[in-house]
């Protein structure tokens, strides 16, 4: 790739040499003064300096507009400043103050400034690469001429998300530039000892995208190559990978004293300091005088001192903001639940569970062109369990999108696309595979709205089937729903009936929060009444699907079916069991379960996941806290034994819940009444 490829008429004008120098010097001055504050113990947490890498940040961002979207990494202050971030708000965030971009919630590693197109720095190595890819997908789907840029380090180039994202970007020719700041070190590990191949840049060849290695300490070289890359990307030809070879002057973080590095090598790089190099070049070219450059330095230093004094005087953040902006659309406990109204004759149709899910998807897609389905084999094949059968023929390849087998980046691209203003509905073929995507779901989707203080929303729905009873074995039969509920910021929905499947999914699709919508393989073929008129069932409200007075059976998903069967067997023995369907694990309706247990004075919890650490333990603790005085028997649990799910049906039955095990637990609880 060469500078001759650039078409300047399609790009914003470059700043003047004086303006470019001011940007370089601003980044250097900010990083230097804040590192001093950090070492003095006046900043909370850690600090990752970008001193020595200023030319990369400025060289990229000087070519961008506010419409172009940047995703950064843990060493992101320089990127944010170069993109136009407010010095005071960045500094206040590093001090952990409410005036900061994230109100003190994000700190040094987690800041966003959406008004300038800075879509977040990220504390997970390689975590932002698929997010930027998703933002590029959103830009392309919205038919804008903007681009996404992903900044990451050489260590991130060895992450699977790097390769998955480049592959996806190449497949769909997404408008994204990947900028690898190869500063020579992955913390204390030399890059050449852990990175195979001739260069990180040449990894782009494997995906058929344009790539280039550039001197990252040479601002002019960076400006030229980024400008050429922008022209290529904006023309729709290809994504671009840029490896900017630079040097991290300071240690990895505040505690790193840099004792592991060769002093002679450090001196070589010091001689090529990007700020001094550009300053000398401006003087040599007579683009500015010594007096003009000195005046810029004095002005920037003055701004830094004034801003520092202002931030030092800021009061600590109010404790109450700790609990704000966890969700973009908070659950409403007073929202009416239409499913509590019996369906009148003629107002419903009997539908299969899978069909109810598809109807909710189709109604959203018919209403709003921003919705699309994104997953493995969802097109002609119709999805592994045929939920999207026929949808490809109706909506076409633009809205029913087959993906590579890349679960981490399926999730990450959905996160970025949702942030970018479109509405992806992702699909994981089996819930077992979601483990590969936990980083994107629980470190990114669940946290972004909170750690960026409400600036960013992640309105995505990720669908996946769970459960055993089919002989699929240990890696295709797990129920991991309880694992997802452990971290706040994401909804976990586990519908049992076709009516709930459609009504809950309709609510999920319209909310602004990330959702994992968990379907059970054993339920896809079941039938039930579904209203002819669309309805939205609010999240976080359990449903009493069978009234009873003697004992409460609380379950979710397919376990509701088993609990209802158990209740019928108990009835033959004169025991009236109440069955509560949780419907959602996050938000979790503790109140309904506690109230039911208080009425019946006995409780059995039924979950298909493993016994240890499951949602039933959480419910048991909650009911103990809320209704202990009403209980007349110990709370009992029926769950999968703590062994991997075996394949042979006889072995599977031995360790999974069953109707007989539920009946036995209920009778044991009643026998133990005080």
Active site residues: 407, 476
Euclidean distance between CA atoms 55 and 217, whole angstroms:
6
Sheet containing 551-555: order of strands: 543-546, 577-581, 551-555, 603-610, 636-640
Euclidean distance between CA atoms 156 and 512, whole angstroms:
30
The half-sphere exposure of 599 on its side-chain side, counting CA atoms within 13 A, is 16
Euclidean distance between CA atoms 479 and 607, whole angstroms:
9
Query: Is residue 215 within a helix (H) or strand (E), and if so which, with residue range?
Result: strand 210-215
What CA dihedral angle connects 342, 348, 351 and 355, to 10 degrees? Answer: -100
Q: Is beta strand 515-520 parallel, antiparallel or unpaired with respect to 185-186?
A: unpaired
CA 19 to the chain's CA centroid? 36
The closest alpha carbon to 661, from 543, 594, 570, belongs to 570
Euclidean distance between CA atoms 356 and 505, whole angstroms:
9
Euclidean distance between CA atoms 245 and 221, whole angstroms:
11
Residue 448 contacts residue 411 (beta carbons within 8 Å): no
Token digits for 467? 């459960």
Token digits for 241? 């990978």
Return left, alpha or beta for 557; rule: phi > 0 is left, psi -120 to 50 is alpha, else beta: left
What's 606's DSSP letter? E
The closest alpha carbon to 507, from 465, 530, 481, 539, belongs to 539
427 vs 317, 364, 423, 516, 519, CA distance in Å? 39, 16, 13, 10, 11
234 vs 6, 111, 142, 238, 418, CA distance in Å? 11, 27, 14, 9, 21
Euclidean distance between CA atoms 246 and 217, whole angstroms:
6
Tokens 């700041």 map to which residue?
A: 181
DSSP structure string for 325-381: -S-SS---TT---GGGSPPPTTSEEEEEHHHHHHHHHHHHHHH-TTEEEEETT-STT
Which residues, other chains included, contact 316 with Cβ-Cβ below 8 Å and sequence gap of 6+? 96, 97
Decide: helix, strand or coil at residue 92. helix
């Amino acid at each position: 790739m060469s500078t001759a490829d650039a078409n300047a008429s399609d790009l914003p004008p470059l700043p003047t040499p004086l303006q470019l120098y001011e940007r370089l010097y601003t980044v250097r001055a900010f990083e230097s003064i804040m590192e001093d504050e950090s070492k003095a113990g006046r900043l909370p947490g850690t600090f990752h300096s970008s001193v020595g890498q200023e030319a990369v940040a400025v060289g990229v961002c000087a070519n961008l507009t506010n419409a172009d979207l940047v995703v950064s990494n843990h060493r992101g202050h320089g990127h944010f400043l170069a993109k136009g971030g407010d010095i005071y708000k960045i500094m206040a965030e590093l001090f952990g103050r409410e005036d900061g971009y994230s109100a003190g919630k994000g700190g040094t590693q987690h800041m966003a400034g959406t008004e300038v197109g800075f879509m977040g720095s990220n504390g997970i190595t390689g975590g932002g690469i698929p997010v930027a890819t998703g933002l590029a997908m959103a830009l392309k789907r919205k038919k804008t001429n903007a681009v996404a840029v992903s900044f990451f380090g050489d260590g991130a180039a060895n992450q699977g998300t790097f390769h998955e994202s480049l592959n996806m970007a190449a497949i769909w020719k997404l408008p994204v530039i990947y900028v690898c700041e190869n500063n020579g070190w992955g913390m204390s590990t030399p890059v050449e000892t852990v990175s195979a191949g001739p260069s990180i840049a040449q990894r782009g060849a494997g995906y058929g995208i344009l790539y280039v290695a550039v001197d990252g300490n040479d601002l002019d070289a960076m400006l030229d190559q980024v400008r050429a890359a922008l022209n290529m990307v904006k023309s729709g030809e290809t994504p671009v990978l840029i490896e900017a070879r630079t040097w991290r002057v300071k240690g990895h973080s505040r505690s790193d004293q840099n004792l592991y590095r060769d002093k002679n090598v450090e001196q070589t790089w010091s001689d090529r300091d990007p700020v001094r190099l550009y300053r000398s070049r401006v003087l040599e070219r007579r683009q500015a005088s010594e007096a003009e450059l000195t005046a810029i330095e004095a002005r920037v230093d003055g701004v830094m001192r004034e801003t520092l004094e202002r931030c030092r005087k800021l009061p600590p953040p109010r404790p109450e903001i700790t609990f704000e902006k966890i969700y973009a659309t908070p659950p409403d406990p007073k929202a009416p639940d239409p499913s509590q109204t019996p369906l009148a004759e003629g107002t419903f149709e009997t539908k299969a569970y899978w069909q109810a899910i598809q109807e909710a998807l189709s109604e959203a897609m018919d209403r709003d062109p921003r919705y699309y389905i994104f997953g493995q084999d969802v097109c002609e094949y119709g999805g592994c369990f045929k939920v999207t059968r026929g949808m490809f023929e109706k909506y076409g390849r633009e809205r029913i999108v087959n993906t590579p087998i890349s679960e981490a980046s399926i999730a990450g691209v959905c996160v970025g696309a949702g942030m970018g203003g479109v509405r992806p509905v992702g699909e994981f073929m089996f819930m077992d595979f979601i483990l590969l995507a936990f980083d994107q779901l629980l470190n990114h989707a669940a946290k972004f709205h909170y750690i960026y203080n409400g600036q960013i929303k992640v309105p995505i729905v990720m669908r996946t089937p769970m459960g055993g009873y089919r002989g699929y074995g240990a890696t295709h039969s797990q129920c991991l729903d309880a694992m997802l509920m452990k971290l706040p910021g994401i909804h976990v929905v586990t519908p049992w009936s076709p009516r709930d499947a459609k009504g809950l999914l309709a609510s999920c699709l319209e909310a602004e929060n990330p959702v994992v919508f968990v379907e059970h393989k054993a339920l896809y073929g079941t039938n039930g009444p579904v209203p002819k008129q669309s309805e939205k069932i609010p999240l976080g409200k359990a449903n009493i699907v069978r009234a009873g007075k003697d004992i409460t059976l609380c379950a979710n998903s397919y376990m509701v079916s088993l609990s209802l069967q158990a209740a019928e067997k108990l009835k033959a023995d004169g025991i009236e069991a109440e069955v509560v369907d949780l419907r959602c694990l996050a938000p979790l309706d503790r109140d309904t379960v506690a109230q039911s247990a208080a009425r019946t004075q006995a409780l059995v919890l039924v979950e298909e996941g493993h016994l240890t650490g499951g949602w039933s333990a959480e419910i048991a603790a909650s009911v103990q806290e809320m209704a202990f005085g009403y209980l007349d028997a110990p709370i009992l649990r029926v769950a999968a034994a703590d062994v991997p799910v075996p394949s042979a049906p006889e072995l599977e039955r031995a360790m999974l819940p069953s109707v007989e095990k539920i009946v036995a637990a209920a009778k044991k609880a009643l026998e133990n009444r005080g």
